[in-house]
Amino acid sequence: MRLVTEADAARVGDPAWRGYLARFAGVSADLLATMEGFGVPVESAPGPRARRGRLAALRDGLVARGARARNDGKSLAWGAISPACARCRTGVRSVSTFLSLACDRSCWFCFNPNQHDYDRFRDAPKDWRAELEELHRRLGGLDCVALTGGEPLLFPEEAVAFVRTARALAPNAHLRLYTSGARADAALMGRLAEAGLDEVRFSVKLDEDAARQQAVLDLMGAAAAVIPAVMVEMPVVPGTGAAMERLLADLDARGVRGVNLLELCFPLHNAAAFRERGLKLVREPYLVPYSYGYAGALPVAGSEELALELMAGAIDRGTGLGLHWCSLENKNTAQIYGQNDGGALDIPPYRFSPRSFFYEAVRAFGDDAAFCLARLEGSDVAREADEAGGAVAFDPRGLALFAPDDAAGHRLWLASAVIEDGAEGRRFREVGVGLVEPDDLAAGRLTAQPAPDPEDPGADARAASPEAAR
């Protein structure tokens, strides 16, 4: 699928529907102009289609090796995966919070300043006890709880108290903590384990001096002796392939449970650091352009390709690590799932997609609309026709009646919609339009019901509060 363009809109005869498509084309154009104004180069115009082809081949190669494509391909996993990562796609009864946003590092890719109330909590703690209790009440319990930052271990007593409080509040929840290892030692790891911590995720900075890297690697060994799951979570920086291969081998030898390979993102500031490293932004950063709340911002070109190549190489070498590729899109789905009430609304011809978590409808105009109506005749597929404007909208399940060649000869558009809360109450709004391509129909991506995810016990929940998104 590809995003609508001004040229696509110009081909529609009815002025109203031409304006409809032009509006969404304008959203993409405005986003591109904004990106170009940040001071980091954007990949060239042919980039998106070429990148999709490369990534598809890499994903297929990983699946052939036994990796699991998750969340409609937005993440891939090999071996063990954290229960929190499995739950992350929907975010049901899953929360991530902090003691403070203070940190003793100044990483060039950090998106900490994008977090809500950063200026307020950078130098002041928040009432995390009251927050935890309120989230537990509002969500009907907690299944996954994360302590992040900033750097939570700058406040060791509070960090231990947080874990102990969360364990008492939700005895069966999975509790994890994120850290760079700042000011921590084996004794603190032991106290966190005693308080009930299930998992600790360390970040490793390849551009730090060797002594500092060695210190955090040694701390992982101490943590692994007392905490059930020790993991590494870090962004994949294009150009660091050899160093990453060495790190993965070292982590495997140390008995680390797994590594979350994150998509490197540009956090809308510190552009000079990205330019100096020769990095570029992904030209079409989102499958559906929208206001996503995750603070990471914009994906960097080449990060996903390198991460998938690293996974393939590690698998071929017989790694014992669990490996998980986590894209920016993967981080955004919990927001959409919660915002759209987990598909609780019944609003035909729109249908809640169990893959994208948007409400979706297929649209066609002019002769393409007439073709669609003829193809749908006699079926029970929900549809709405605008005879005056020469348009039709129908339930995406109706695409099962179409062949791949139909998408080559006719222009079918997939509209994505969300529920939004505003000053005037809740509203239902279309936010993106993409062209259905022959490969989409050949693969059945838009019609097939995905199999239940055995790794995500919350996958079939029908509703989730927006607060459940991390």
- For the domain with range 61-338, which CATH number is right: 3.10.129.10, 3.20.20.70, 3.20.20.100, 3.30.565.10? 3.20.20.70
Give me 90's structure tokens.
């929907």
Give me 361's structure tokens.
């409808």
Give me 95's structure tokens.
């929360």
DSSP string of 177-237, one letter each residue: EEE--TT--HHHHHHHHHHT--EEEE---TTS-HHHHHHHHHHHHHHHTTSSEEEEEEEE-
Cα→Cα distances 159→90, 119, 156, 198, Å: 26, 21, 5, 14
Task: Name the burial class of residue 209, with classes exposed (0-12), middle (13-18) and buried (19+) by CB atoms within 10 angstroms of its CB.
Answer: exposed
**Total residues belonging to the chain:** 470
* Domain boundary assignment for the chain: 2-29+342-460, 61-338
Q: What's phi and psi for 448, nearest 5 deg? A: -75, 140
Give the Cα separation of 95 and 465 in Å (integer).
Answer: 11
What stretch of H or E contains 8? helix 6-10
Cβ atoms 206, 243 nearer than 8 A: yes
Q: Please report how many Cα atoms fall inside a 13 Å half-sphere around the Cα of residue 454, on the Cβ side.
A: 2
Beta bridge partners of 75: 70, 326
3-state secondary structure of 129: helix
Cα→Cα distances 91→151, 196, 443, Å: 23, 22, 27
| pLDDT the model gives residue 470 | 32
Cβ atoms 110, 265 nearer than 8 A: no
Give the Cα separation of 273 and 216 in Å (integer).
Answer: 24
Cβ atoms 62, 312 nearer than 8 A: yes
Give the Cα separation of 350 and 224 in Å (integer).
Answer: 48
Cβ atoms 359, 337 nearer than 8 A: no
pTM, to two decimals: 0.91
Name the one residue in this structure whose structure tokens are 């551009």. Answer: 207
What stretch of H or E contains 159? helix 156-169
Give the Cα separation of 357 and 420 in Å (integer).
Answer: 14
Task: Name the burial class of residue 17, with classes exposed (0-12), middle (13-18) and buried (19+) by CB atoms within 10 angstroms of its CB.
Answer: buried
Using alpha carbons, select from 397, 375, 376, 379 the residue that is nearest to residue 447: 397
Cβ atoms 55, 74 nearer than 8 A: no
Give me 117's structure tokens.
């109330």
Cα→Cα distances 23→16, 194, 336, 437, Å: 11, 56, 22, 21
Task: List CB contacts of 221: < 8 A, sequence separation 6 or more.
Answer: 254, 255
Give the Cα separation of 85 and 232 in Å (integer).
Answer: 13
Q: What's phi and psi for 467, nearest 5 deg? A: -70, -15
Give the Cα separation of 122 and 178 in Å (integer).
Answer: 17
Question: From first to last of its 470 residues, what are the pLDDT tens digits of the chain?
Answer: 889 999 999 999 999 999 999 999 999 999 999 999 999 999 987 767 778 888 999 999 999 999 999 998 999 999 999 999 999 999 999 999 999 999 888 899 998 888 777 777 878 788 999 999 999 999 999 999 999 989 999 999 999 999 999 999 999 999 999 999 988 999 999 999 999 999 999 999 998 888 888 999 999 999 999 999 999 999 999 999 999 999 999 999 988 999 999 999 999 999 999 999 999 999 999 999 999 988 888 999 999 999 999 999 999 999 999 999 999 999 999 999 999 999 999 999 999 999 999 999 999 999 999 999 999 999 999 999 998 889 999 999 999 999 999 999 999 999 999 999 888 889 999 999 999 999 888 877 787 677 677 777 655 544 333 333 33
Give the Cα separation of 236 and 302 in Å (integer).
Answer: 9
Radius of gyration for the chain, computed over Cα atoms and rounded to the nearest angstrom: 23
